[in-house]
Amino acid sequence: MELQQLLTQHRLSIGAAAKILNLSRSTVSRVASHEYPNWQNKEQEMIESLEKQGYAVSEKQAEAGMHFDPDAFVITDSVAAYNDLAHDLTNPESSLSSSLGMVIGTAERGKTFTSKRFAALNPNAVYILYIDGSSITQVLRDMCYELSATRPHSMSKCITVIEQSCRYQRRLVIIDEADKCPIKLLETLRGINERCNLPFLFVGEEMLKSKIDQVPRLRSRIRNPIVVFKPVHEVEIATYYQMAAGVKLDVTNATLLSRRARGGFRTVANEARALINIANASGIPDITEQMINQL
């Protein structure tokens, strides 16, 4: 029995489990996704603690149908590479030279989910979604709000607030959908990076790299390696179903779901929820090829 399975069977969110265990949400999440150092021992301790507090697995619960955990998370190779880059950018001992990171990949590969999760679990990182058409000042105001809970009205005051918020600790700003940012905004963020010693992680589709490559001052400050989100594959899909619902997919069904998803993690997650509902409605504690064909 894994921690994630136990949480799923009792319909416990990461936050709820953290309160029961008197631990931080970050710790529970990292143990459940096997990111925590020596997670095996910690996971066993947490499972035993939950069982003592009445959250043991019973036959009745096992027969009650499958439950889907929308917070289930799989550390794919792409996610691991993302985390390595983001942690390196937030590390106060790493160089601030070339402190602009880049993550690219086709839509639905899981870049946004990974970005939000990293920001949620790391207090020194903040997440900003660029909305097409936003002015430079609007973006800087959003940054100020995430960094210091204030929204100055002018660009100069925004820069002052950002500079002050980074004076005593390394911060990281994740800019999602950065491929939509105009060059002028990216140049402004590069200037803030230098003036405020503030690393940025630009996340977007493949055209982001082409856009940055056009500007030598930007390109020269991109830290290697550039992370490319690859298509989700059969093993990762099977792992996701195991973590999200305790379901063991056979090779045939994992391959079929992989073909349907065309590499997109969002499709995998959406179809997993639908398939669990179909399985429960049918009273069958498994995912079959016939169910997949009903989607």
Instruction: Choose between 19 and 195: higher pLDDT.
Output: 195
Same domain, 238 and 287: yes
Task: Say yes or no to pLDDT of 268 above 80.
Answer: yes
Q: List, in sequence order, every residue forming a beta bridge with 100; answer none if it has no partner.
A: 200, 222
Q: Is 107 left (phi over 0), alpha (psi -120 to 50) or beta?
A: beta
pLDDT digits (tens, 9 = 90+) for 90-146: 998 888 888 999 999 999 899 999 999 999 999 999 999 999 999 999 999 999 999
Residue 61's pLDDT is 47
Looking at the fold, whether 293 and 245 belong to one and the same domain comes out as yes
Residues 69 and 59 in one domain: no
As a dihedral over the C-alpha atoms of residue 83, residue 88, residue 89, residue 91, rounded to 10 degrees, the angle is 120
Residues 207-218: tens digit of each pLDDT: 999 999 999 999
List the CATH number of the domain containing 125. 3.40.50.300
Q: Is the separation of the CB atoms in 225 and 85 below 8 Å? A: yes
pTM of the model: 0.80
Enclosing domain of residue 275: 65-76+231-295
How does the average pLDDT of the chain come out, rounded? 90
Q: For residue 284, is pLDDT > 70? A: yes
> Are residues 126 and 152 both part of a single domain?
yes
* 71-75, 86-90, 229-233: least confidently modelled range: 71-75
Number of domains in the chain: 3
In this structure, what token pair is assigned to residue 61? 């619960």
CA pair distance 48, 289, nearest whole angstrom: 36
Q: Are 206 and 177 contacting, i.e. CB atoms less than 8 angstroms apart?
A: no
